[in-house]
Amino acid sequence: MKLKLKSKLLFLSVVPILFITFLSFMLLSDIIKNRQNLELTKQYILEAEVISKVIHFMQIERGTTTGMIANKKIDDKDTNLQHVKALCDRAVLDAKSTLDVCDFCHNSQALGTLEDIKNRNNIKLLSLSIPDAKAYYTQQIESLLLFVKKIPSLMNDKEHRNYLQAHSYLASAKEALGQIRATLMEVYSNKQLSEGSLLSLIKFLEIYNLDCENFKTIASKDILAIHARHFRGEAVEKTLDMIHSIIRDRNDINFSLVEPSYWFKQSTISINALRDVERELFESVTELINEKLKLTFYKILLITSFLLTTIITLASIMVLIVRKIISSTNSLEQNYDESISLLEQYRAAVDRSFIVSKTDPKGIITYVNSEFCKISGFSKDELIGKSHNFIRHPQMKDNTFKEMWHTIKELKKPWRGEVINLKKDGSYYWVKAIINPILDKNGEIVEYIAIRSDITEIKNALTTDALTGYDNRTKLSEDIKELKDLSLAILNLDNFRQLNDFYGHQFGNLVIISIANKIYNFISKDKKLKFYRLQGDEFVVVGVEYDKEKFISKTKEILLLIKERFSMKNEEILLSCSCGISFEDNEHILSGANMALKTAKKSSIDLLVYDDSLSLNQQYENNMIVTKKISDALKNDNIITYYQPIINNKDENKEPKKYECLVRMRDGDKILSPYFFLDIAKQTKQYFGITKAVVFQAFEMFKDKEAQFSINLSINDILDEEMSKYILMMLDRYEVGNRVIFEILESEYIENFEELLIFITKIKKYKCKIAIDDFGTGYSNFGYLIKLKPDLLKIDGSLIRNIDKDKNARLIVSTIVEFSHKLGMKIVAEFVENKEIFEIVKTLGIDYSQGYYFSEPKESL
């Protein structure tokens, strides 16, 4: 009997070790195979890299050779040509050496091409015509490019295949750019654009654009970042601009503007930039593969060590078992007792580390450990004999428990999941649980054992704002679903983005934390009020079963609290806040508060309570009414222009020399500002009619006057082809271009800089000036100013209006003025409402002022 038991012990000990050994061998085999694939991939990458070097130097040699032929400089011993050939020859030798070592069957074509390139000195390339010389190089390059493009299809390594596929598109794009370089060298050298050259140029530009798009589609974010870092700068912009200008101005090209050497230099810099992208791409993927090869080496070493340890362990166990077979029954019993002792220790360790319970087949609790009692707050006597429904949280859905019972009872498999339970004090806790059915020898369920770990902190982190530590939007959504009779206020800091841009995001975060603490400390003693950070500079206060008037009053107190001046890192901060309040049902309460907040912001009021008058239906009805009024105004010439003077700050007499033309609409006896109709007009086709009316009236007003006048244009005006033609036609007809200033609204985001720059170029021919309106809002990018090179910059009124009270606004304006003057731009301050603001504006060095301090907009001068 004892020997039979020991034989079973021997079997049970050896078989798992043999099984583990077998699995280890399989794993080792798989890792070795993976390492072989990585080494093969590395070899493919090396092939692509050395061939790419040859292609690059062949492209340079092609450009140099065709350039010398075009310039009739037939000199085989030219220093520059000899240097380029030497670089190419060295790259060919490196490539042949690499491909010879690889010895793959697919290398034969590439090796043949490399051999032809090596022997190219036997061909007197400088004696050929430009097309023939270019055709020779192109043929060799295309052959090598075909080899590079073929490599990804040979790879089994899907993970890294895309790197080489992306490179193949990049190499093809670089070759297309090289073809364009050679074509334009011929064009600029001959100072003639033939039909064939134009078609070739268009074809290769299309290939270049297509390959660039394919590259961007398939390349990873890291590779795209490399491309963005290298392929930029003045040379790249000039290269692409020269290509587009040749195609665009094909019938009227001024060849004297571009020297062939200048074109070759700029395009070569661009091609070299693509080469830098190639080089870093190869470095990146090679480094990645080397890391993986290093990792596989350690894995192989680890598994090999494990196998050796297993074999030694197996031998030791066999010797041990043989000894135990010979040993006495007392020894067996002693080992049995020790095993039981160890099992008890394991059970105790699990009990100390996890929340454990057992139930009978009907789900009645038969055992709970102390950790279960500790987290739930119930004693063992209160739990044993009851089902787990006793601690079930109402939030748990029936489907979860149906799935659990189906898994453990019918499938007799472990169930894993997350469960929320109730504590004795009514609070809750989250656990990650695994429930195992325990089966007898006949496969029948004897009991269930559940082992859980506390994940309450992790779950709470999902509903907690990382910056402030208060409840976040997720928690707000959950509470809106669960709670009843709610009042909700959304608070949004005014002009916080300007503070963030000026002081930096780290400083802005400290301000957000300070404001959040202020609000929370103010309301925390009232248990019916809850506080959340919604997003960015927005906060939410929720009242549960709260009197509406009392809630509005409490919210007003919070607004006053936020307005209190405070210091942060030796900076004095003064903020204001807008608020929207809603008492709607739970489904619409958040959207209602949002709508009230937006309306409050638009109307420049601190607090607004949502009601049906703010609903979208009312807005749509109002939009339809205003749309009809705009249509009637256009028909009846009731779109009118008002004029506001702009004063030179150095002129003591304050005589206006400039005016801004401002649109108004006559509605019966009332004159409406654009606030009431312009946004609605932008949603219809009536907007361009308004712009045309203002342009016509302004040109008529100033056609016989000496003053300069400015007209506001939106990006939509500029990009609309019909509107653009109308403006140019009016400039031709009235001949007042030297006195016209076109103000581009800075608050609108500009995507198509190329079209905008084309428009500016056209109007500059009429000696018009460009101003950027409302600077300090919207896009607010100094890089934007450098690109557009405006003549004037108009600082947004929201910065000027409070400049006599707001230190932050004064600092921001000072920075804008200093930067703009360095760029040679004049500055106009809008919304100069009183003498105090005017004196500060002059002190800051601003050139011009505009506002009610001088004059309101008038229908006549």
| pLDDT class of 779 with cuts at 50, 70, 90 | very low
| The pairing of beta strand 826-829 with beta strand 848-849 | parallel
Give me the percent of the chain exceeding a pLDDT of 90. 28
Q: How many angstroms separate the CA atoms of 728 and 742, rounded?
A: 12
pLDDT score recorded for residue 539: 97
Residues 610 and 630 in one domain: no
- What is the per-residue pLDDT for 722? 92
Q: Which of 418, 436, 460 is the last residue of a domain?
A: 460
CA distance 534 to 517: 14
User: pLDDT (tens digit, 9 = 90+) per residue, 581-592?
Assistant: 999 999 889 988
Is 424 a member of any domain? yes
Report if residue 329 sits inside a domain.
no
Work out the angle between the directed axes of helices 195-218 and 234-248 (0-180°, nearest 10). Answer: 140
pLDDT the model gives residue 327: 61
Kindly state whether residues 603 and 631 are assigned to the same domain.
no
The pLDDT tens digits for 612-646 are: 655 544 554 566 778 888 888 999 999 999 999 99
In this structure, the answer to whether residues 141 and 277 fall within a common structural domain is yes
Residue 396 lies in a domain: yes
Sequence-ordered alpha helix ranges (H) in 327-378: 329-353, 370-376
What CATH code is carried by the domain that includes residue 552? 3.30.70.270
Contact 74, 64 (CB under 8 A): no
pLDDT digits over 127-155, tens only?
Answer: 888 788 888 888 888 888 888 888 877 77
**Which domain, by its residues, includes 601?**
463-614
Work out how many domains the chain is built from and give that number.
Answer: 4
CB atoms within 10 A of CB 338: 10
* pLDDT on residue 751: 60
Side by side, which strands form the sheet with 445-454?
Answer: 365-368, 355-359, 445-454, 428-439, 415-422
Which residue carries 């841009």 as its tokens? 501
> Can you give the pLDDT at residue 195?
87
In this predicted model, which residue has the larger pLDDT, 76 or 6?
76
Same-domain pairing of 405 and 495: no
Banded pLDDT at 332 (limits 50, 70, 90): low
Per-residue model confidence (pLDDT) at position 710: 96
Q: Is the pLDDT of residue 789 over 60?
A: yes
Is the CB of residue 596 less than 8 Å from the CB of residue 610? yes
Q: Which of 112-126, 210-224, 555-569 has the lowest mean pLDDT?
A: 112-126
Indicate whether 777 pLDDT > 70: no
CATH number at residue 732: 3.20.20.450
Which of 387-396, 479-488, 562-571 shows the highest mean pLDDT?
479-488
Residue 45 belongs to some domain of the structure = no
pLDDT for 60 beyond 70: yes
Ranges assigned E (strand) in 668-777: 670-672, 708-713, 740-745, 769-775
Sign of CA dihedral 822, 824, 830, 836: positive
Q: Which residue has the higher pLDDT, 861 or 703?
A: 703
Mean pLDDT of 17-32: 73
- Residue 5, pLDDT above cutoff 60: no
Select the more confidently predicted residue: 278 or 156.
278
Between CA 67 and CA 730 the distance in angstroms is 46
Residue at a domain's end among 257, 279, 296: 296
Instruction: Identify the weakest region by mean pLDDT among 102-111, 257-266, 350-359, 583-592.
Output: 102-111
Cite the beta strand spans of 401-517 per DSSP E: 415-422, 428-439, 445-454, 486-493
Q: Average the pLDDT over 475-479 and give the result.
A: 90
Q: Per-residue confidence at 3, pLDDT binned at 50, 70, 90?
A: very low
Of residues 71 and 3, the one with the higher pLDDT is 71
Whether 496 and 508 have beta carbons less than 8 Å apart is answered as yes
CA distance 291 to 192: 54
On the question of pLDDT at 1 being above 60, the answer is no
Per-residue model confidence (pLDDT) at position 552: 94
The model's confidence at residue 684, banded by pLDDT at 50, 70 and 90, is confident
Asked whether the predicted pLDDT for residue 104 surpasses 60, the reply is no
For residue 702, the model assigns a pLDDT of 94
Identify whether residues 480 and 591 lie together within a single domain.
Answer: yes
The answer on 276 and 162 residing in a single domain is yes
Read off the pLDDT of residues 485-517 as tens digits, 9 standing for 90 and up: 999 999 999 888 777 767 777 888 899 999 999
236 belongs to a structural domain = yes
Look at residue 51 and tell me whether its pLDDT is greater than 90.
no
Query: 703-759 pLDDT, tens per residue?
Result: 999 999 999 998 888 988 999 999 999 999 999 999 999 998 754 455 667 888 899
The predicted pLDDT at position 105 comes to 45
* Mean of pLDDT over the chain: 84
Mean local confidence (pLDDT), 275-297: 82
Q: How far apart are CA 491 and CA 500, in angstroms?
A: 18
302 belongs to a structural domain: no
Which pLDDT band, with edges at 50, 70 and 90, does 836 fall under?
A: very high
CB 484 within 8 A of CB 549: no
* HEC string for 718-729: HHCHHHHHHHHH
Q: Which of 531-545, 616-630, 683-697 has the lowest mean pLDDT?
A: 616-630
pLDDT at 487 (0 to 100): 96
Mean pLDDT lowest for which of 60-69, 78-87, 371-380, 525-534? 60-69
The residue among 778 and 252 whose pLDDT is bigger is 252
Domain shared by 418 and 550, yes or no: no
246 and 167 together in one domain: yes
> What is the number of H-type helices and E-type strands within the chain?
29, 21
Q: Are residues 240 and 253 in the same domain?
A: yes
Q: Which of 474, 485, 714 is nearest to 589 (CA)?
A: 485
Asked whether residue 376 falls in the same domain as residue 504, the answer is no
pLDDT at 844 over 80: yes
> Residue 461 — very low, low, confident or very high, per pLDDT cuts 50/70/90?
low
Cα-Cα end-to-end distance for the chain:
120
Q: Residues 470, 388: one domain?
A: no
Instruction: From 614, 639, 674, give the residue that closes a domain.
Output: 614
830 and 784 within one domain: yes
* Mean pLDDT across 520-532: 93
Residue 171 lies in a domain: yes
Q: Which pLDDT does position 616 carry in this prediction?
A: 44
The more confident residue out of 463 and 835 is 835
Q: Give the confidence band of 300 by pLDDT, cuts at 50, 70, 90.
A: confident
* Mean pLDDT of all residues in 784-812: 83
Q: Is residue 94 part of a domain?
A: yes
pLDDT for 414? 93
Q: Say if residue 674's pLDDT is above 70.
A: yes
pLDDT at 858: 93
Residue 824 DSSP code: T
Q: What is the pLDDT averaged over residues 436-458?
A: 88
Band (465; pLDDT cuts 50, 70, 90): confident
Longest Cα–Cα distance of the chain, Å, equals 125
Model confidence at 323: pLDDT above 60: yes
What is the pLDDT at residue 765?
94
